[in-house]
Structure 1
Amino acid sequence: MAPLADFKIMTDPIYMDYGASTPLDPRVHAVMDDCMHNDFGNAGARIHAFGMKAASHIDLAREQVADCIGTKKDSLVFTSGATESNNMALFGILDYLRATGKTHIITTAVEHKSVLGPMAEIEKRGFTVTYIQPKPCGMIEGNMVAAAITPQTGLVSVQALNNEVGTIQPLAEIRAILPKDVIFHSDAAQAVGKMNFTLAECGNPDLVTLSSHKIYGPKGMGALYIAPNVRAHIKPLLFGSMYEGGMRAGTVATELCAGFGQAAELVHIELADDLAKMESLRTLFLKKLKGTLPDLVINGHSDSKWRAANIINIRIPGITNEDMLAALPDLAFSPSSACNATRTGYISHVIRAMTGADQPARESMRLSFGRFTTEMEIVRAADMIINAVQTIQKMQGAA
């Protein structure tokens, strides 16, 4: 396998958008490359050696991902990514909820669009959805969820870690206040590798969404954890030749599974080192910005226990993120989440929900870094932001 030293991220421009997607770890690439060239059989064809070898890669990957979050491998269904996993969890449970008279769902106003989009469609199908507004730090507390519960509540969906501001949600606290007959789903696409995420530490949710490309694995790959007591209530989204324990149709991509598994194993082994590095880079980055930009506002939770170190969402009052995007062509960052970054004039629904206003959302930008970010890149990125802010402020003063 290629050593980490062989990996080189672009030095110009600087990549500060790990929240959108992480680079493929070279050790993951090596596993995938070997799989694609040597073990190309269909895992569904276990009647011969090629199929059995492919199936062994998928079985190993399932075990690696399961170990990463502290569960058994049979509880995981591989999918094409977090969006499919969220859709499988939310739409797959609807018939059961309707049959049991549980037609009220609770979620939050700061979820990813792959949760909010399905929720909008679910409302059209006759369900009632409550969207909890967050505290100014982006947190959803257990008592806030408790206040929204009704006798008809059947499902609660709360993300583990916010993708735009990095706030960590108190899942164990939320789980503890839920009635036993309420199903608990969490989108943990951003959480794995960015915090100590295991099912036990997060209150053992019934359904958990996972993503490969957020943990240095390949795109087009994810998983849905389904608790044993809930599995019988989830209906598949795709039908045909059924794989994944009858939960999903379509040939499983062996190389993507293998890559996801290797990425998960690396997170499991190297999490402490990754978290320490990201905390150090965060400290360096903010120290440099705060020393020069007195008006700097940091969106999200201020307590390190309740925020991810690698996501920093900042705001300079009076300067829009569109101005910053135009001024920083060599710095890769997002004004919000990646799925909305290409929409001209889009205002972050997360910042809007946290602040109750549009202007802070127009002025906020997300910078995120990770395993392969260097101190030199952090310092240079901070210098670029400072220079851009000062230049824009001078132009505003001259106008």
Structure 2
Amino acid sequence: MSTYLDCNATTPVESEVLDAMVRYLTEEYGNAGSRTHEFGVRAKQAVERAREQVAAVVAARRDDVIFTSGATESNNIVLLGLANSVEGATRRHIVSTAIEHKAVLEPLEHLVKQGFEVTLISPDESGRIDAQAVLDAVRSDTLLVSVMHANNETGVVQPIEAIAAGLSDAVWLHVDAAQTFGKLIAPLQNSRIDLISVSAHKIFGPKGIGALVSRRREGRRAPLSPLMFGGGQERGVRPGTQAVHLIAGFGVAAQMTLRDHEQRQAACLRFRDGVLTAMAKLGGRVNGDREHCLPHVLNVSLPGLNSEAAMVTLKGVLALSNGSACTSTSYEPSHVLVAMGLGRDRIESALRLSWCHLTPEVDWPQACERLRRMM
């Protein structure tokens, strides 16, 4: 059986998370909106407890957390909801980056068609965005700055703290933290970050649930117009019956990120050493700044090797990818690596390896031998 090395796409579910989900599927199956009986009351309590658990990871308040289906929906609520607000009617400029996930880039493309102006900052060859370039792009009519915390393809961590420190109070700041929530703790606890998008399935929780953290700043939240209507749940921003079992599982997963953070980081760093050693034997070149990279991700180009062919060759040994899961059906070059200015050969030979504290040891000699035969 293949060893799974695609944790940036999704992670396995922790047993404690699964136990919580099963309880709210089989025993406590009430609707959190039903206030007339104890089943609904207990479901509501589970939702609010999970809200506290998620908020604690980023040092936010319970009522700052809006449950969504995941970071993609959260990103859309921020970008489209803010654009549709009163402020969006008068300030119609947004600053973002060329390496964002499609869940940000595609809503931005939609807003351009609606008359917004979008400035996308490109990274250097290391995959890092220059914080000052972001700040210099801000104008008097800038509504929002949206910068991902770490890139999903390279694992390179972006300077969100420097951006937050340099922004004027008039501009809202959004961070897509799908890859860093519960993994890089301190940076996301910065109260100057107004909006944070999160997915549970990146932190060993279930798919189909996530959150938008919307902080108050000086007593005021970003004015988000809802994209859907009906029911008024989640402060009217995201209506619909709450998926209590998913929310409860998300809460447990969030709580575990704080409890087990150091242990998980240490395990990922140990595994990383083995990956680097194996890739070095094949002449691999790391794409992205190794000094500013998540401990569980590497994007590596292997000379003379097509990544699509490599993934076929490694079937039964390693399960990995050559980019974002959301664009895996596309054979177009990675927009992230293109934005970094890498050459065609290096892009076409790039593989993304991402692991976690649950990843078993890999038979690297076997994997390397298979790849070497193709080079």
TM-score by length of 2: 0.95
Task: Label 1:101 to 1:193 Cα distance change in 2 as closer, same or farther (>3 A).
Answer: same
Note the alpha carbon deviations across 1:301-324, whole angstroms, 9 max, x for none: 121xx2101011100122111121
How far did residue 47 of structure 1 move?
A: 1.7
Corresponding residue for 2:272? 282
Corresponding residue for 1:211? 199
Corresponding residue for 1:191? 180
TM-score by length of 1: 0.90
| AA in 1 matched with 2:327 | N
For structure 1, the residue ranges without an aligned partner over 5 or more in a row are 1-11, 394-399
Corresponding residue for 1:347? 333
How far did residue 198 of structure 1 move?
A: 4.8
Aligned partners of 1:114 and 1:84: how far apart in 2? 8
Aligned partners of 1:283 and 1:63: how far apart in 2? 36
State yes or no: 1:81 paired with 2:74.
no
State yes or no: 1:253 paired with 2:235.
no
How far did residue 194 of structure 1 move?
A: 2.8
| AA in 1 matched with 2:131 | G
Contact preservation (8 Å) 1:76, 1:225: yes
SS in 1 for 2:119: strand
Contact preservation (8 Å) 1:298, 1:314: yes
Pick one of 339, 345, 352 that aligns with 1:359.
345
SS in 2 for 1:208: strand
State yes or no: 1:144 paired with 2:133.
yes
Corresponding residue for 2:41? 52
Note the alpha carbon deviations across 1:322-354, whole angstroms, 9 max, x for none: 1212211122111101111222x2311111111
How far did residue 247 of structure 1 move?
A: 1.6
Query: Identity, % of aligned pairs?
Result: 37
| AA in 1 matched with 2:368 | I
Note the alpha carbon deviations across 1:171-195, whole angstroms, 9 max, x for none: 1101112121011100001002332
Corresponding residue for 1:8? none
How far did residue 141 of structure 1 move?
A: 2.1
Aligned partners of 2:335 and 2:369: how far apart in 1? 28
Pick one of 342, 358, 361 that aligns with 1:372.
358
Aligned partners of 2:324 and 2:14: how far apart in 1? 22
Aligned partners of 2:95 and 2:222: how far apart in 1? 22
| AA in 1 matched with 2:277 | K
SS in 2 for 1:67: helix
Aligned partners of 1:97 and 1:167: how far apart in 2? 35
Contact preservation (8 Å) 1:79, 1:224: yes
Aligned partners of 1:218 and 1:66: how far apart in 2? 18
SS in 2 for 1:249: coil
SS in 2 for 1:93: helix
Pick one of 242, 259, 269 that aligns with 1:269.
259
Contact preservation (8 Å) 2:288, 2:299: yes
Note the alpha carbon deviations across 1:143-184, whole angstroms, 9 max, x for none: 111221222211110001111111111111011121210111
For structure 2, the residue ranges without an aligned partner over 5 or more in a row are none
Corresponding residue for 1:9? none
Corresponding residue for 2:8? 19
Note the alpha carbon deviations across 1:51-89, whole angstroms, 9 max, x for none: 001001101100011111111110010001111000001
State yes or no: 1:310 paired with 2:296.
yes
Contact preservation (8 Å) 1:17, 1:369: yes
| AA in 2 matched with 1:338 | A
How far did residue 214 of structure 1 move?
A: 0.2
Corresponding residue for 2:124? 135
Contact preservation (8 Å) 1:173, 1:203: no
